[in-house]
Chains A and B, each alone.
Chain A
Amino acid sequence: MNPRITGWMLPALLILAFVVAGCGGAAPAATQAPPAPTEAPAQAEPTAVPPTAVPPTATLEPTDTPAPTDTPAPTEEPTAAPVVVADATNCIACHTDEAKLQELAVEEPPAETLSVGEG
């Protein structure tokens, strides 16, 4: 064998041997891994929750957005525009609508119809 080749091959082989030995050295550690899987089930439940929580928010958006386009409210309630309080929308929409009130409002009968003389 050419002594020049063996001259550089030996150190290279030695280095390779160290590298291989290093990888092989990590292998025992993998045998310590079993405890970790025993913790894994406990973590599995919480990690399972987010997936179920995510879909609703994902589905709300598409079902929410069509709604405004479905309802004709914006075109029939111009007088309700200055709504200032969220939970009075319907009250104000109706009670500011002159036409609707003229249609729906009825006069209450006077209570003292039997009275005679000046009050």
Chain B
Amino acid sequence: MPPVEAWQKVFVDPVKFVENDMHAKVATCTQCHGGTDAAEMAAAHEGMTKNVTAQVEMVTEKCGSCHKEITGAQVKSLHFTAHGYDTIINQRLGDAPESHAAWEEARANHCSSCHASCADCHVSQPASVGGGLVSGHQFKATQAFTKTCTGCHGSRINNEYTGRNEGVPADVHWTQGGMPCFKCHTGDEMHGMTGEKAERYDGPPSPACLDCHPEVAPGKGEIMQHNIHGEKLACQVCHSVENKSCYSCHVQTSEEGVPYYKIEPSVMTFKIGLNPKKSEDRPWNYVVLRHVPVDPTVFDFYGDDVLANFDALPTWKYATPHNIQRNTPQNASCDACHGNADIFLSEADLKDYEIEANQGVIPTNLPPKTGQ
């Protein structure tokens, strides 16, 4: 993302915002941000809040006075609360109260900054990439995805979608469709208006490939492979390619209390495994898996054996890589996939600490070769 100068981050456009933005008409600067209208800078900024919409109360009171339906859902959404972390990490925590206390402390230090408020998408860019106003405080229903979505979802999603991983093509929805993120990920989804979710893959796929491509549903079209495999394989199994896996993100704070992390170098992988989220909504036997940056010691700075129940979830998790192609190495022929041990997760892909955790996603028998 192009850097935003310090002055631009606080520049209020006199035309775009002051003159023409409805939000400038309904409240004064101090009514939303606090502080005072003093002429002297320090006095004016005393007690002011930069991102007002980071607080539930303010979202409800200010934004909600006009956008009640949206804000009512938004403050419970994964984007706002980031409680997907809790859903996953809580399952790995031990029963000891100390484990939960350690996680709470770590969460506050390292994960809470990942939540996205109203302003992070509609007024400014996310704090995780430096923050600041991006269009002179103008409120935009939709901003450039490079200023919003990929500010947070950069190293994996953006690099995959726009083809920044060396030797790996960009997603066809980008190269041919030029589709920004919100073409598929609607405002309703982003605001949590499609229902409360415990984590990203809770409930039915949203978005679902079949929303735009209903003709490829099994039995609905003439493509034989879809009719044969459609109920057994997630679309990505045949149509995504190498994607990024991460390992061992250890978190701690400096002596001055500044949070930081150390993560192992990422690895490009393409692994098919058994579906750990199999349900009526996601009925497939096989899905693409991605390694998440967890190991039993990532929270050791905060306590002993915090992840005492580490094996509760696989470290190779359900994934939907954003690098969809019509033609991929594994769908080049039947036997490019069938019997191809390289693309199926096996114990050989695992480190010692995660063998037990992944037993449920390692295929016991590979689909047999067909000779085609």
A-side residues, CB < 8 A to B, are 79-92, 94-96, 98, 101-102, 104-107, 110-119
A112-B258, A118-B246 known; A105+B155 contact, CB < 8 A: no
Name the CB-closest residue of B to A96. B14
**Is B24 in contact with chain A by the CB < 8 A criterion?**
yes
B14-47 contact mask (Cβ, 8 Å, vs A): 1 or 0? 1100110000110111100001011101001000
Closest 5 CB pairs of A and B: A117-B263, A114-B260, A101-B7, A91-B29, A95-B12
- In-complex Cβ contact of B7 among A85, A92, A105, A114 (8 A): A105
Minimum CB–CB distance for B20 against chain A, Å = 9
B14 touching A82, Cβ below 8 Å: yes
A88 touching B28, Cβ below 8 Å: yes
When distances are taken between beta carbons in the complex, the residues of chain A under 8 Å from B5 are 102, 105
B270-308 contact mask (Cβ, 8 Å, vs A): 1 or 0? 000000000000000000000000000000000000000
When distances are taken between beta carbons in the complex, the residues of chain B under 8 Å from A98 are 7, 11
**Is B98 in contact with chain A by the CB < 8 A criterion?**
no
Name the CB-closest residue of A to B152. A119
Interface pairs (7), CB distance under 8 Å = A82-B19, A85-B28, A86-B28, A94-B44, A112-B259, A118-B263, A118-B266
B41 touching A113, Cβ below 8 Å: no
A90-B37, A118-B246 known; A112+B261 contact, CB < 8 A: yes
A96 touching B12, Cβ below 8 Å: yes
Q: A81-B14, A110-B130 are in contact. List 14 more A-B contacts (CB 8 A).
A: A83-B18, A84-B24, A85-B24, A85-B27, A92-B29, A95-B10, A95-B11, A95-B12, A96-B12, A96-B13, A102-B5, A104-B41, A117-B263, A119-B128
A105 touching B10, Cβ below 8 Å: yes
A87-B28, A91-B30 known; A116+B261 contact, CB < 8 A: yes
> A96 to B13, alpha carbons, bound, how many Å?
6
When distances are taken between beta carbons in the complex, the residues of chain A under 8 Å from B9 are 105
A89 touching B37, Cβ below 8 Å: yes
When distances are taken between beta carbons in the complex, the residues of chain B under 8 Å from A83 are 18
B155 touching A101, Cβ below 8 Å: no
When distances are taken between beta carbons in the complex, the residues of chain B under 8 Å from A81 are 14
By CB atoms of chain B within 10 A, which of A86, A110, A115 has the most? A115
What total count of A-B pairs have CB within 8 Å?
Answer: 102
Minimum CB–CB distance for A94 against chain B, Å = 7
When distances are taken between beta carbons in the complex, the residues of chain B under 8 Å from A102 are 5, 7
- In-complex Cβ contact of B261 among A91, A105, A115 (8 A): A115
- In-complex Cβ contact of A88 among B29, B254, B265 (8 A): B29
A88-B30, A112-B260 known; A101+B10 contact, CB < 8 A: yes
> A95 to B137, alpha carbons, bound, how many Å?
10
A92 touching B12, Cβ below 8 Å: yes
Minimum CB–CB distance for A97 against chain B, Å = 9
When distances are taken between beta carbons in the complex, the residues of chain B under 8 Å from A90 are 37-39, 44
Name the CB-closest residue of A to B156. A118
B258 touching A114, Cβ below 8 Å: yes
Minimum CB–CB distance for B372 against chain A, Å = 40
B30 touching A87, Cβ below 8 Å: yes
**Is B366 in contact with chain A by the CB < 8 A criterion?**
no
Name the CB-closest residue of A to B155. A118
B262 touching A117, Cβ below 8 Å: yes
Name the CB-closest residue of A to B266. A118
When distances are taken between beta carbons in the complex, the residues of chain A under 8 Å from B38 are 90
> A84 to B14, alpha carbons, bound, how many Å?
10
> A111 to B18, alpha carbons, bound, how many Å?
32
**Is B6 in contact with chain A by the CB < 8 A criterion?**
yes
> A107 to B39, alpha carbons, bound, how many Å?
22
Minimum CB–CB distance for B190 against chain A, Å = 21
A82 touching B18, Cβ below 8 Å: yes
When distances are taken between beta carbons in the complex, the residues of chain A under 8 Å from B12 are 92, 95-96
**Is B352 in contact with chain A by the CB < 8 A criterion?**
no
When distances are taken between beta carbons in the complex, the residues of chain B under 8 Å from A85 are 24, 27-29
